[in-house]
Amino acid sequence: MKSTKTLVALAATAAVLTLAACGDNGASAGGSDGGSGGDGEEVDLTFATFSPDQEPAIRQILDVFEEQNPGVSVEIQIIPWTDYWSTLQTSTAGGTGPDVAWMLGAKIGQYIDGGVLLPLDDAFAESGLDIDKYPEQLVDLFVDDGTTYALPKDFDTIGLWYNKALFDEAGVAYPTPDWTWDDVITNAQALTKPDGSVYGIGAPMDPQATYYNTIYQAGGEVISEDGTTSGYDSPEAIEGIRFWTDLINVHHVSPTLESFADTESVAQFMSGRLAMLTTGSFYAIRFANDEYSSQNFDVTELPGGAQEATIINGIGNVALASTEHPEEAARLAVFLSGEEASRISSETGTVIGSYEGTEQAFIDAFPQFNLQAFLDQAENGVVLPVSRNTDAWASREGEFLTSAWTGEQSVEEAAANLADAMNEALAQENQD
């Protein structure tokens, strides 16, 4: 009798700890307690972001906004990336979310469908900004049925970063914009040291930085234009993936997937173990702040395949419908993606500001790197592929492609299995 009760108590207590995490009423994220309300009175807004690196630039932008809008004060709320999306989703659903928040193209579909975002069209018209001054593909990410829910505040593209010291040591000429992928392989072979202390290039399983780029360069696609089917089983997509797996398993010029699981590719690059790495403009600030990287790194355009392509992505600012001050929140969301904000982002070297005419400041921020390469490529930019519920299939990519990366399975097989799983997820998404 006693033991049964203790049993139930112990097991239930422990198990419920798991269950408690499952309720849809998760952590509330501060909120819009809005002060005394009413127009012309004090207005307090909360702005949620996931990047502590960008906080100084954001604070500077908000100071300008507060100056132009007397009586409005904005508090920054930094939620770490790992918690950001679950916190934003649950707090928004619970009506206790921030007033304005960062948004990505891969996530916005769910929020638009849920009807929890404020349209920004009126606030945008009032701001006097010109929509044609933003990269068009990124604007499209945040527009649904002619309604604008966010504007891109910045953009990033992928380039070929390289370590000049390792190139010099091996007597190899630096990469140029007209390199092809075959050039990458040949030169990576010359750069790789037999003792394993230096590899020619890093081939991590990172969609945005590696295989999405080559899939589009080979003429393939990750998701069909209408967002209903997977492109992974096409010969072009398979070719785009195989380029990376061959670097590891055939040419042996990259560390293995195991090695990248232990030490992430950027860390290996910064410690001088990789001579080349394809990654984004967003790492410029980190490389510039590191003495070794700042002295030895430079960047050029991605090598070309059948065609030129680089993945382009950007962060938007949304205003949430649960706010008590819709007018001010919408104005803030637009301002955070406006010309002034764009200039401050670029000047501080934080990110490439999205508003035309402000990019040059980003290039000037770190003259040691040829950051112009990121801008030159933007015209070939393919926007990071998304659907209404991107996470449902994007979370499967790593799962299925792992076996291709480790060489356990052919790329054809792994890609076919991934395509099946992705089509299933897309079918469910379009049914809802």
Q: List contacts with another protein (CB under 8 A).
A: 1-8, 10-24, 86, 89-90, 92-93, 110-111, 113-116, 204-206, 255-263, 389, 391-392, 395, 398-399, 402, 405-406
Closest approach of Cβ 429 to another protein, in Å?
11
Q: Please state, in angstroms and rounded to a whole number, the distance separating the CA atoms of residues 243 and 185.
A: 9
Give the phi and the psi of residue 422 in degrees, each rounded to 5: -70, -40
Q: Which two tokens stand for residue 111?
A: 């929020």
**Cα torsion through 260, 262, 265, 266, rounded to 10:** 170
Please identify which residue in the block is written with the tokens 């054809």.
Answer: 412
Nearer to another protein, 224 or 402 (CB): 402
Q: How far is the CB of 432 from another protein (least distance, A)?
A: 8
CA-to-CA distance for 355 and 96, rounded, in angstroms?
31
- Report how far residue 164's alpha carbon sits from residue 295's, in angstroms, rounded to the nearest whole number: 9
Shortest separation between residue 407's beta carbon and another protein, angstroms: 10
Least separation in angstroms between residue 328's CB and another protein is 23
> How would you label 362-388 residue by residue, b for 16+ Cβ within 10 Å and e otherwise?
bbebbeebbbebbbbbbebbbbbbbbb
CA distance 301 to 175: 9
CA 279-386-50 angle, 5° bins: 60
CA distances (Å), origin 53, targets 49, 64, 89, 298, 346: 10, 19, 23, 21, 14
Cβ proximity to another protein, 19 vs 173, nearer residue: 19
Cβ neighbours for 316, distance < 8 A, ≥ 6 positions apart: 102, 103, 104, 105, 108, 138, 141, 142, 149, 150, 151, 152, 153, 337
Q: What are the tokens at 327?
A: 């007018």
Shortest Å, Cβ 391 to another protein: 6
Min separation Cβ 386 and another protein, Å: 14
The closest alpha carbon to 45, from 340, 335, 314, 316, belongs to: 335
Q: Which is nearer to another protein, 227 or 398 (CB)?
A: 398
Closest to another protein by CB, 67 or 145: 145
Cβ-based nearer residue to another protein, 10 or 131: 10
Instruction: Quote the strand ranges of 192-290, DSSP E.
Output: 276-280
Q: How far is the CB of 272 from another protein (least distance, A)?
A: 13
In angstroms, what is the minimal distance from the CB of 2 to another protein?
4
What does the alpha-carbon distance between residue 62 and residue 313 come to, in Å, rounded to a whole number? 23
Query: What Cα–Cα distance (Å) separates residue 135 from each residue in 126, 314, 348, 383?
Result: 20, 10, 21, 10
Provide the minimum distance between the beta carbon of 53 and another protein in the complex, in angstroms, as a whole number. Answer: 20
- How far does the chain reach from its first CA to its final CA, in angstroms? 49
Q: In this complex, which beta carbon is closest to another protein, that of residue 105 or of residue 303?
A: 105
Closer CB to another protein, 94 or 177, in the complex? 94
Amino acid in the structure at residue 271: S
When the beta carbons of 57 and 117 are compared against another protein, the nearer one is: 117
In this structure, the number of other CB atoms found within 10 A of the CB of residue 338 comes to 24
Task: For the CB of residue 392, give the shortest distance to another protein in the complex, in Å.
Answer: 5
SS3 305: coil
Residue 65 or residue 260: which is nearer to another protein going by CB?
A: 260
| C-beta of 163 vs 389, nearer to another protein | 389
